[in-house]
Amino acid sequence: MINKQSLIDRFIRYVKIDTQSDDTVTDRFPSTEKQLELSNLLVKELKELGVQDVEIDQYGYVMATIPANIDKQVPVLGFLAHVDTAPDMPGKNVNPRFVENYDGADIVLNKELNVILSPAEFPELKNYLGQTLIVTDGTTLLGADDKAGVAEIMTAVEYMLQTPHFKHGKIRIGFTVDEEVGRGVDHFDVARFGAEFAYTLDGGAIGELEFENFNAASAKITIQGRNIHPGYAKDKMLNALLIAQEFNSLLPAHERPEHTQDYEGFYHLIKMDGSVEKATFQYIIRDHDRKKFEARKAYMQRIADYMNAKYSGGTVALELKDQYYNMREKVEPVYHVVSTAINAMEAVGVKPVVKPIRGGTDGARLSYMGLPCPNLFAGGENFHGKHEYVPVESMVKATEVLLKIVELYASK
């Protein structure tokens, strides 16, 4: 049996450390120094547990080794999670609280601010009747993305080192930074990590197993307008704000995140700034299908070309940048990493829910860097917001699944 209280204590200890990354910082890595507080704590705790080869490099990546305790050759497994939390929601002064034996009613997160976690808005709460939920105080995120994954890996490490009869091959542990800003493995040394394949514990609800994700790109559009006194503006003014609105109107309204699901892609307007003279706005572009993904980027370029023809060249500048690709192409050739995870879930009483990620993980990029890396559930719900929560029972099961994967490979 894993140490449930140790798992809970770790999670609470980790979420109280502010590790918010910053998507506006591009001249240093990690984007925020405060992420290193948790990274360094993990180094200390790993050493205290007796883990070997514990190191933190110049980029803040933590790597460590649990040596094999069996003689036969089995694959070197890796398990990874990220320490940072999302940049668009406060991660400081996190004050988690416990809802014991959840009864299915509304949970008042913050009475003063009228922040309610309600099954009317979040019907999946009904899946956790009778369980213990860890919730926010309604002013910050919780940080289960991905400190639940961090705590689960650390608890599994503790179990392996304190349970001599548990047989396993060589295990590599990794903790990354800046995942939430899309740069989590920019400097990750796959060869140094030395695993044959790995799993990220960065998924959501219990049972989730993902080996497909979006192809992803960012788009930044700059509109150069022409500001003229409004009293004398006829046939002279170019209002950058209105041109930006026109650009957005040419994208299909039904292909926004709020209208899509499953394998459906989207264009998502995430930021807009400006004035009559100049405006900038940013999108993220997502699609599971590579051809559709490329078509989405091409369509956005056609809009820019059309508007430059309409308003004169140089009015609209479009900058497209690929971020990551669908890991399925790299995972399918070693599908045993998926089937073994399915078998592990079933063995510990978890129903596998194999589904595409409507997002991305470090594992997506690592798969293209030579380390096939599907994503396992960490147990949280409503990531990146004040309604985030995690059932303790889901965290326990995630830890059990990790250990069962290790056990299954050791027994092959």
The whole-number pLDDT of residue 323 equals 87
Q: Phi first, then psi: what are they for 338, rounded to 5°?
A: -80, -50
Residue with tokens 């080869």: 53
The whole-number pLDDT of residue 182 equals 85
Q: What does the pLDDT look like over 42-67, one tens digit per residue?
A: 999 999 999 999 999 999 999 999 99
- Give Cα separations from 3 to 136, 144, 224, 326 (angstroms): 24, 19, 60, 36
Q: Is 31 helix (H, G, I), strand (E, B) or coil?
A: coil
- Give Cα separations from 278 to 138, 274, 282, 315 (angstroms): 37, 6, 14, 10
d(CA 238, CA 225): 5
d(CA 291, CA 80): 30
* CB atoms near residue 206 (< 10 Å): 25
Catalytic residues: 84, 179
The whole-number pLDDT of residue 210 equals 95
Residue 360 has pLDDT above 90, yes or no: no
Q: Which amino acid is at 143?
A: G
- Of the candidates 119, 120, 137, which has an alpha carbon nearest to the alpha carbon of residue 128? 119
The whole-number pLDDT of residue 149 equals 98
Angle between helical axes of 4-15 and 35-49 (0-180°, round to 10): 150
CA 382 to chain centre: 12
Output the pTM of the full model.
0.87
Q: Which domains does the chain have, with CATH numbers?
A: 4-213+326-411 (3.40.630.10), 216-324 (3.30.70.360)
Share of the chain above pLDDT 90, in %: 94
Q: Please provide the size of the chain in residues.
A: 412
78 — alpha (psi -120 to 50), left (phi > 0) or beta?
Answer: beta
The whole-number pLDDT of residue 25 equals 93
Mean of per-residue pLDDT scores for the chain: 96
DSSP code string of 84-110: -B-TTS--SS---EEETT--SS-EEEE
User: What is Dmax (Cα atoms) for the chain?
Assistant: 85
Q: What does the pLDDT look like over 163-219, one tens digit per residue?
A: 999 999 999 999 999 999 989 999 999 999 999 999 999 999 999 999 999 999 999
Q: What does the pLDDT look like over 257-305, one tens digit per residue?
A: 999 998 999 999 999 999 999 999 999 999 999 999 999 999 999 999 9
Distinct helix (H) and strand (E) counts, the chain:
10, 17
